[in-house]
Structure 1
Amino acid sequence: MTVALDLAPTSEAEVSEILADCHARRTPLRIAGGGTRIENPFLAETLSLSRLSGVVTYSPGEMTLIARPGTPLPEVRQMLAAEGQALAFEPPDLRGVLGGNGTPTLGGVVAANASGPRRLLTGACRDHLLGVRFVDGRGRVLKNGGRVMKNVTGLDLSKLLAGSHGTLAVLTEVVLKTLPLSPARTTLVFPGVTETTALRIFTAALSTPFEVSGAAHVGGTAYLRVEGLEGQLAYRRDRLLALLADWQPQVMEGAPWDAIRDVAHFAGGGPLWRILCKPTDAPSLCQGLRAMGGDCSLDWGGGLIWYRGPGNPRGLAPHATLVRRDGATGPAFPPLTGAVARLHDGLRRTFDPAGILNPGLMDA
């Protein structure tokens, strides 16, 4: 019996029925939350998770949040802030970059492993993901992990699904660890510096025990953020000021970290690429990218380059993802080769043997 498709399911059971039917008929699906993470040109029926929304459980005392994938990220932030907590990995909001009308969702954050400047100190989204419930490409409902740390035996599938962009399974519930909000923060600013100088500053600061929680370079200015309790924050700030005195740092309160997180400086037109690299390679890569006619910014102490401009940067930087097309063509994700490609194909065949989940998005 063929299941009548409702492509905006409100329950896990409905997701399972839809995927089982699409698997049997080999009907491809475009998996979407708020549509605010990456431009997906794949043309197919869209399975929207926006109605599979809501917080299942939030325990501030246990610092644990359980929610469905369509739960809007702004609502989650507001709820956690009311309890003095936050998602420590600082997920970015790319609505300004992509110019869409959608709302970022918690499932989209996990599916993209979306992580902001604080990843430098606290780790990525997947490092705070305690467990998941999901439906695979056959329509099977599965779960992995739990509600506390270190309770997983065998393969931790939640870490595998984080960053898979809906190509392996459809998330129906996520369990995330929350952390207290830092009561105070300050930023050291270094105006008029190149990427090469910024990397020297980052290297010096990040080799200290002073827990720098943000290191970015935007528009010729380098930024270093420190967060924590007021008393110890002043000590760490002063030690960093003394250490980096040769670069004449300035102290800035209310620095634009939300804008840095959301790549607001590259909102608007032009193809936008997200490039992962070794921090020590960032200055030379930026020099080559600028020679292509575009502009760059750095995050994660140089481990993340945002490039806006013409051309395909994969000739210089293999790990480049096309986030905003604006006329650019070709696959969004870099092609895989060798053992990595074989492993990727094997996982796809295991989780989605009919190839119905976002085909072409990560394997083109």
Structure 2
Amino acid sequence: MTTFTPTADEDVVASVQWALAENAPLEIMGEGSKRGIGRPAQTEHAINLSALSGITLYEPEELVLSARAGTPLAKIEELLKRNRQQLAFEPMDYGPLLEQPAGRGTIGGVLAGNLAGPRRLKAGAARDHVLGVSVVSGRGELFKSGGRVVKNVTGYDLSKVMAGSWGTLGVLTSLTFKVLPAPEMEATLLVRGLSEGDAAAAMALAMGSSAEVSSAAHLPEGISTPTLNVLLGSGPKTLLRLEGFGPSVAYRFDLLHRLLRDGGVIERIDDSTAVWAEIRDCAPFADNTDRPVWRVSMAPSEAYKMVAELRMHAGAAAFYDWQGGLVWLRMEAEPEAEGIRALVAHFGGGHATLVRASPSVRASTPVFQPQPPALAALSARLKEQFDPNGILNPGRMG
């Protein structure tokens, strides 16, 4: 097996051109923190981008940061924190869920997976904050899009195309992101004791109010971690995050308290950063096993109904983010992808992705939600445009 470790764009171009000449498919990776997502690699050779690292531009006044694709996300977040700034979409760290150390994700992997966290409702995902990329296509050509150098591929917004492509269209070499000021204050309103249906109603009420809730999640009975137990205690918990200037947060907290006071016991958690990090990283299911974990995106008003129906047929633990529209499911047995997706479809539709399972299950299961015919045709055209020989992460998405 040959593993290329490029340190410059030209090295990536040379590696891809070698693969083309040898008809030798390549696995594309950074530090490997998300390697367990998707079908197992069907390659004997790899490009490891971890040495293609470093922050190349940071202008706090202009709210712009550029870095090479292998730059650790933790390093970027540390720099931003020192300047009271942030990546507002708070990308999750898949490492612990996939039995990898925390903090190993790279900025290239953030865009390749189009990552987001609990602030997704307000701030969007990686694709909504990327300003530009440099990428080497499966043709062995270097393209630059957006940022300070504009050389777009005709007809495509290259930065957006790369979001969620999981390394199957091109090898990202550098990225430019918009950054934003960190909020002066964060506080979380905690409602205790709600059922999953009542929690869905409470979150919908809060999100529809003028309280400007930035995150909304529900942890049913039994869903916790040692950190969450210390910070929040036991029992069902519904969490609503408020961010901004101190007086504004206080005013909006009081507004929510009045709105929800008849629903359950309400508390204020002032230091809730660790709480939202645990929710973001799916920490309740980071249990050092390969029990199947599904990530389901669907209408918040239907998600808890889908979970209730699923529990009638299979052992499943679940918790909810994004106002209930993101469901994390841990199954006690191997998944039946068709059954789970049929259930999601029955309750209004959505997307179900298998994010953790044993290699054998991943190899035999459609890991990503099958695309509708029109979207599948568009994806095929993109693949033909960017990687006609199918040498980049072949088979990972299907």
1:259 correspondence with 2:291: no
- Contact 2:42-2:394 at 8 Å conserved across structures: no
Aligned-pair Cα RMSD in Å: 2.1
The letter for the 2-side match of 1:262 is: D
- The equivalences for 1:319-334 within 5 A come to 319-326=351-358, 328-329=361-362, 330-334=365-369
Give % identity.
43
Measured against aligned partners, the alpha-carbon deviations of 1:155-181 in whole angstroms (never above 9, x if no partner) come to 322111111111111101100000011
Deviations 1:165-198 (A, max 9, x none): 1111110110000001111111111222222111
Write the letter of the residue equivalent to 2:294.
W
Aligned to 1:239: 255
Residue number among 7, 10, 14 corresponding to 1:13 in the alignment: 10
Deviation at 1:29, TM superposition (A): 1.1
1:342 and 2:377 correspond: yes
Kept after mapping to 1: 8 A contact 2:2/2:46: no
Corresponding residue of 1:280: 301
Aligned partner of 2:254: which letter?
D
Runs of 5+ in structure 1 lacking a partner?
Answer: none
Aligned-partner Cα distance in 1 for 2:35–2:3: 24
Contact 1:290–1:296 under 8 Å retained in 2: no
Q: Does 1:43 align with 2:75?
A: no
Structure 1: how far apart are the matches of 2:101 and 2:241?
A: 31
- Which AA in structure 2 matches 1:254? D
Q: How does 1:101-116 map to 2 (within 5 A)?
A: 101=101, 103-116=104-117
Among 333, 336, 341, the residue aligned to 1:314: 341
Q: Which moved more, 1:224-233 or 1:209-218?
A: 209-218
What is the distance in 2 between the residues matched to 1:38 and 1:237? 40
Determine helix, strand or coil for the equivalent of 1:159. Answer: helix
1:131-210 residue pairs with structure 2 within 5 A?
131-147=132-148, 155-210=156-211
Q: Is the 8 A contact 1:53 1:68 kept in 2?
A: yes
Counterparts in 2 of 1:123 and 1:337: CA distance versus 1, 3 Å: closer
Aligned length: 359
Q: Is contact 1:32-1:48 (8 Å) kept?
A: yes
How far is 1:47 from its partner? Answer: 1.3
Specify the alignment match of 2:322 in structure 1: 300
TM-score, normalising length: structure 2: 0.86
Identify the residue that residue 229 of structure 2 maps to in structure 1: none
Asked if the contact 1:297–1:306 (Cα under 8 Å) also holds between the matched residues in 2, the reply is: yes
Which amino acid is the alignment partner of residue 278 of structure 1?
Answer: A
Structure 2: stretches of 5+ with no match in the other structure: 221-235, 345-349
Partner Cα distance (2:153, 2:9) in 1: 23
Deviation at 1:288, TM superposition (A): 2.5
Alpha-carbon distance in 2 for matches of 1:187, 1:100: 29
Instruction: Tell me the alpha carbon deviations over residues 107-163 of structure 1, each in whole angstroms, 9 at most, x when there is no partner.
Output: 001110110001111111111111111000011000111249xx9996322111111
Q: Map 1:21-170 to 2 at 5 A.
A: 21-37=18-34, 39=36, 40=38, 41-44=40-43, 45-101=45-101, 103-147=104-148, 155-170=156-171
- Preserved CA contact (<8 Å) 1:6 1:18: no
Do residues 222 (structure 1) and 252 (structure 2) align?
Answer: no
Partner SS state of residue 251, structure 1: strand
* Aligned amino acid, residue 330 of structure 2: R
- Asked if the contact 1:97–1:263 (Cα under 8 Å) also holds between the matched residues in 2, the reply is yes
Once structures 1 and 2 are overlaid, which stretch shifts more, 158-167 or 286-295?
286-295
Contact map agreement 1:279 1:301 (CA 8 A) in 2: yes
Aligned partners of 2:277 and 2:374: how far apart in 1? Answer: 38
Aligned-residue offset at 1:66: 0.3
* SS in structure 2 at match of 1:135: strand
1:198-234 CA distance string (max 9 Å, x none): 1101111111222111101123311100011001110
What is the alpha-carbon distance in structure 1 between the residues aligned to residue 97 and residue 138 of structure 2?
31
- Give the conservation status (yes or no) of the 8 Å contact 2:187–2:243: yes
Aligned match for 1:353, one of 355, 377, 388: 388
* Structure 1 contact 38–324 (Cα < 8 Å) conserved: no
- Asked whether the 8 Å contact 1:333–1:361 carries over to 2, the reply is no
Indicate how the Cα distance of structure 1 residues 271 and 226 shifts in structure 2: closer, same or farther if over 3 A, else same.
Answer: same
**How far apart are residue 293 of structure 1 and its match?**
0.7
